[in-house]
Amino acid sequence: MKHVKVIDSMPSTGKTCYMIEKINQLDPMVKVIYITPLLTETNRIQEQCKKRKFQLPDTKKGKGSKQEHFKELLKRKANIASTHALFSNIDNETIQLIRAGNYILVLDEVLGVFNNFDIYNRKPKPSDNKEKKKKLTQKQEDELKEKDEIGLNKDMKLLISNNFATVDSYFKVTWNNESEDKDAFYLYEDFKQAVDNGQIYFVSETYLLWMFPPQVFQDTFKEIYILTYQFDYQIQSAYFKFFDIPYEKYGVIKYREDRRYNWKFKFVDYLDYDNYRNYDIKKRKQLKELITICDSPRLNEIGTKEPADKRKYELLSWSNYDKMDKTALKIIQTKSTSYLNKHLDDKTSTMIWTTFKDYKGDIRSSRMPVKDFVSLNARATNEYRDKTGVIYLVNRFQNPFYSNLFKTKGISIDKDGYALAEMLQFIFRTAIREDTPIKVFVPSERMRLLLISWLDGQY
């Protein structure tokens, strides 16, 4: 059996409830680190696993640093519940403390294993605060972004040409030399440390990529459980393949004898996971009767117009939004408001909506307020389980720099499977979790057809 176990089950099938039951049955000598996207969920783990006495990293107890308190809890071999954000800052000292503590890891939803990296370790100056207060125009922001990209290229080429750093065929950056003149590397202090940790990749000569340390999943924990859905289509799956980290898939079936009894949870072993798909398909057929997808040509035209244009595949993608003027953004806002009015009975309180974060301000209105906006990468939250309407205004594609990195080892992620998995996570934040009917507006033709295909048993 592999030590990384992915519980790959549809949202609301009881993954977290099963895991809580399992934690409560573990030998007290086995210690647990439970990592979840939301702070509220750490409180839930603390409350429902009382005998385990889970501790939450606290800034005050860490003398101003949650990370320091996290380390202190590891030294005491405490059971710990924390967030993705804190866990993503794991360092070598933390890894060694975990190894010494006989810990298992429960990772609720996949981790953001990649991020862009700023090569400069800019120390704040007194004048910086004044500069931050000045509101930049879009043109000024674009110019600064362009300067940063030029600076990155220039500095990386300088480091490489002077043999301070090299980049191998997999884009991994290695530091070759250390100057005695520390002032010369004042701007690169954080960069060098991350390079020394093996976490930096220079992809396509334009993009510095930070990578979560793979040894955390290789030899740091006694056992690892990852709770998610459609894992094979997600970035962390390709990351595992890139570093030869094997995993097995398991399932959970939620059931009860009848309505008089509480829910029970049946764990499906990896040897039976192929048969588990039959349960998954059956669930989808039930959901198909509960999900009404908007099929209005007039409303959907923002994601389907110009059928002869090959670029329609990219409509409502990030690159498409980036080219839009105010008029085009206003049309999206108008179509969304019209859907809210005609299909959701103008009941704002019953719906959630999303778009790319940078364009939230352009789409919002008095009828589509920011308070009903939910980040498109929302996961592992039950906060919106009473919402019966979804306005999903994006067309998802994975970061092309990630794809370039994976190609160096012949690894790829199904681009449609990735988009579908991301969209399903968002839709399952709503009342569909409770088998309550919902209405969905997905104007992107590509995304809408993916959702229909999934409900029909594909992917």
Shared-domain flag, residues 318 and 445: yes
- Per-residue model confidence (pLDDT) at position 310: 57
Shared-domain flag, residues 88 and 235: yes
Q: Which domain holds residue 431?
A: 290-455
Shared-domain flag, residues 32 and 142: no
84 neighbors 377 (Cβ within 8 angstroms): no
390 neighbors 427 (Cβ within 8 angstroms): yes
- Per-residue model confidence (pLDDT) at position 348: 77
With residue 203 as reference, give the H or E element that holds it. strand 200-203
How many CA atoms within 13 Å lie on the side-chain side of 228?
A: 27
Shared-domain flag, residues 84 and 166: no
| Domain end position, chosen among 233, 258, 281 | 281
Instruction: Give phi and psi for 137, each to the nearest 5.
Output: -75, 165
Distance in angstroms (rounded) separating the CA atoms of residues 396 and 102: 39
- Per-residue model confidence (pLDDT) at position 187: 62
Cα-to-chain-centroid distance, residue 198: 22
- Per-residue model confidence (pLDDT) at position 95: 96
Shared-domain flag, residues 365 and 227: no
353 neighbors 372 (Cβ within 8 angstroms): yes
Distance in angstroms (rounded) separating the CA atoms of residues 76 and 53: 13
pTM of the model: 0.88
Shared-domain flag, residues 207 and 222: no
Shared-domain flag, residues 96 and 42: yes
| Domain end position, chosen among 281, 304, 326 | 281
Token code pair at residue 268 = 């499906």
Distance in angstroms (rounded) separating the CA atoms of residues 356 and 321: 9
Token code pair at residue 137 = 């125009």
| Domain end position, chosen among 211, 229, 259 | 211
Question: 């010369």: which residue's tokens?
Answer: 184
Shared-domain flag, residues 14 and 158: no
Distance in angstroms (rounded) separating the CA atoms of residues 79 and 28: 10
Token code pair at residue 5 = 């176990």
- Per-residue model confidence (pLDDT) at position 307: 56
Distance in angstroms (rounded) separating the CA atoms of residues 36 and 111: 9
Beginning with the edge strand found earlier in the chain, give each strand of the sheet holding 223-228 in spatial order: 80-83, 31-36, 103-108, 223-228, 4-8, 248-255, 264-268
Shared-domain flag, residues 298 and 410: yes
How many CA atoms within 13 Å lie on the side-chain side of 245?
A: 22
Among 365, 429, 358, which residue's Cα sits nearest to residue 394? Answer: 358
300 neighbors 312 (Cβ within 8 angstroms): no
- Per-residue model confidence (pLDDT) at position 132: 40
Low-confidence ranges of the chain (pLDDT < 50): 122-136, 138-147, 181, 184
Token code pair at residue 319 = 């690159």
Shared-domain flag, residues 195 and 274: no
CATH number at residue 17: 3.40.50
Distance in angstroms (rounded) separating the CA atoms of residues 238 and 368: 36
Token code pair at residue 166 = 């090299």
Shared-domain flag, residues 229 and 356: no
- Per-residue model confidence (pLDDT) at position 131: 42
What is the DSSP code (8-state) at residue 113? -
Number of domains in the chain: 3
Shared-domain flag, residues 219 and 301: no
